[in-house]
Amino acid sequence: MDRMLVVLFDNQTKAYEGKKALYELDNEGDITVYAQAIVSKNKEGGALIKESEDYGPLGTVLGTTFAALIGALFGPVGMAVGAAAGATGGVTFDIAKAAIGEDFIDDVSKMLTPGKVALVAEIEEDWTTPLDTRMEAVGGTVFRRALSDVRYQIHDENVAAMKADLARLKAEHAQASATRKAKLHKKITELDTKIQDRLEKAKQQRQAAEAEAQAKVDILKAKAAVAAAGVR
């Protein structure tokens, strides 16, 4: 199952120990790491304290929920971290909220006080015990949430409601007086513009999701090829 992971530590040293444990679990086959970053919160909002550019295999894919989550947790400064990890192309915080849930973001934000250091990662795991055991051993507090496609259902429902309103306005426009027609025409134009904007945004999000999904498939294929080569 694909999950978003946030592990909080008291300092940077512990966070790097957590990152090492994360990749050990990946090498042992307990999880697959798609992307990760180490971030700390400060008075300005957030800051990347990672020394290298290694964000994991998925870190270079534009529009990932992983990058949007960093933006949602760390605000404008944190979004710069997300941009470095691939969060360009109009990614907004609501992507992370819709895919993960605002309660998850709220729970993490309450614990993410200044001085705390977070290991943020997108992973695939079947069992939680291996990761929890390793992270707890190095002093980490684990938050995780399965990714969801509910955002697409919500979007479709919203657009359908807006289109229904548009149809009613057009019907009313056809029977209205000349004075009323002008006012209704303005409302029709504004609503139609909103619908087109929603559709374009959804298109971009779906394209980003497809690219992310394909990247994950490529990562799993590469891992399988390495494992097969090791057996020979």
pLDDT tens digit string along 55-103?
665 555 445 677 778 878 876 656 555 555 544 444 455 655 656 777 8
User: 128 and 17 in one domain?
Assistant: yes
Decide if pLDDT at 106 tops 60: yes
d(CA 213, CA 14): 31
What lies within 8 Å, CB to CB, of 206 at 6+ separation is 152
pLDDT of residue 180: 86
Decide if pLDDT at 231 tops 80: no
Cβ(64)–Cβ(212) below 8 Å: yes
Decide if pLDDT at 48 tops 90: no
pLDDT of residue 143: 93
User: 231 and 170 in one domain?
Assistant: yes
Tell me which of 128 and 71 has the higher pLDDT.
128
- Give the torsion sign (CA, 86, 92, 93, 99): negative
Question: Pick from 126, 148, 170: which residue ends a domain?
Answer: 148
- Please name which of 108, 111, 106, 116 lies closest in space to residue 42, comparing C-alpha atoms: 116
User: 107 and 193 in one domain?
Assistant: no
User: 92 and 13 in one domain?
Assistant: yes
- pLDDT-derived band at 223, boundaries 50, 70, 90: confident
**Per-residue pLDDT averaged across 41-68, rounded?**
60
d(CA 97, CA 220): 26
Cβ(122)–Cβ(6) below 8 Å: no
pLDDT of residue 54: 61
Cβ(11)–Cβ(150) below 8 Å: no
- Looking at the chain, the number of H-run helices and the number of E-run strands are 7, 5
pLDDT of residue 204: 74
**Per-residue pLDDT averaged across 130-137, rounded?**
95
User: 99 and 13 in one domain?
Assistant: yes
Q: Residue 77: how many CB atoms within 10 A of its CB?
A: 17
- pLDDT-derived band at 189, boundaries 50, 70, 90: very high
- Count of structural domains, the chain: 2
pLDDT of residue 87: 44
User: 143 and 155 in one domain?
Assistant: no
Q: What is the pTM of this model?
A: 0.68
User: 99 and 84 in one domain?
Assistant: yes
User: 162 and 77 in one domain?
Assistant: no
User: 170 and 214 in one domain?
Assistant: yes
d(CA 71, CA 51): 19
DSSP code of residue 154: H
Domain residues for the domain of 113 are: 2-148
- pLDDT-derived band at 22, boundaries 50, 70, 90: very high
- pLDDT-derived band at 23, boundaries 50, 70, 90: very high
User: 130 and 88 in one domain?
Assistant: yes
pLDDT of residue 31: 93
3-state SS, residue 20: helix
Question: Pick from 86, 120, 148: which residue ends a domain?
Answer: 148
d(CA 26, CA 68): 23
Question: Pick from 117, 148, 179: which residue ends a domain?
Answer: 148
